[in-house]
Amino acid sequence: MASGPLDGVRVLDFTQIIAGPLGCMLLSDLGAEVVKIEPVGGEPWRLTAQFFPHESKAYQSLNRGKQSVAIDLYDDRAKTIVSKLIAGADVMVINYRPDVSARLGIDYDSVTKIKPDIVYVDSTAFGRKGPWAHRPGYDIVAQAASGLMMVRGGTLDDRGHPLLTGQGAPADFTTGYAIAWAACAGLFSRERTGKGQKVETSLLVNALVLQGSTFMSNPAADAEARASFLADLEQSRE
């Protein structure tokens, strides 16, 4: 009996921390079989507020419903294992920097030589193009770079720097849902065309999504909003 709309779909989860694990967990919730690839010592989120060695609620809350395989991807012997896993997968989700994935042989070009019709979801901090493409990044960095700290937090410290929006990781969690959405869209396209594809998302673009009206250009409304914003900014720095 099918357990969800993605029953029969196998996902390889090459991600860690929040966004990638959340996205893959959502795919598991929809019925997909998710195989998480972790380093031999486990992913870092296991070490956050451990209640047992290498186990934490932070990790478990983002990785339920998955199988886990510990592999040293820098060991040449791992290539055979990873190649077999890729050959049997429908979706692969990764959040490595471009130079790292290429060095490990799990970049899109390398993976499609093994599995041409795979749906490859590539999540980064700032996208694969542009001057920041090779930079790593976390939620807090995306909040700052996108302006989310200032727009949603609205509070400056004594140096005039914006503070965090509060608890949580809005860019990470928004990106997690974007990852799941991207995988489903890629699978739907493959069902119609028979072809896989690479689908990209990033912490930056999803942090910007949370501020749509802030960056939207509307001459009828922008002049008043801009004047009000600048007045508030000037007052906060007095």
Q: Which residues are catalytic?
A: 172
Which segments within 32-180 are labelled E, that is strand?
33-38, 50-52, 55-56, 66-70, 91-94, 119-124
Classify residue 46 by its DSSP letter: G
Q: How far apart are the first and last CA of the chain?
A: 65
Q: Which among 197, 51, 49, 36 is positioned nearest to 122, based on CA atoms?
A: 197
Decide: 4 and 30 in contact? Cβ < 8 Å. yes
Distances (CA, A) of 192 to 45, 86, 186, 195: 37, 22, 10, 8
Calpha distance 86→185 (Å, rounded): 19
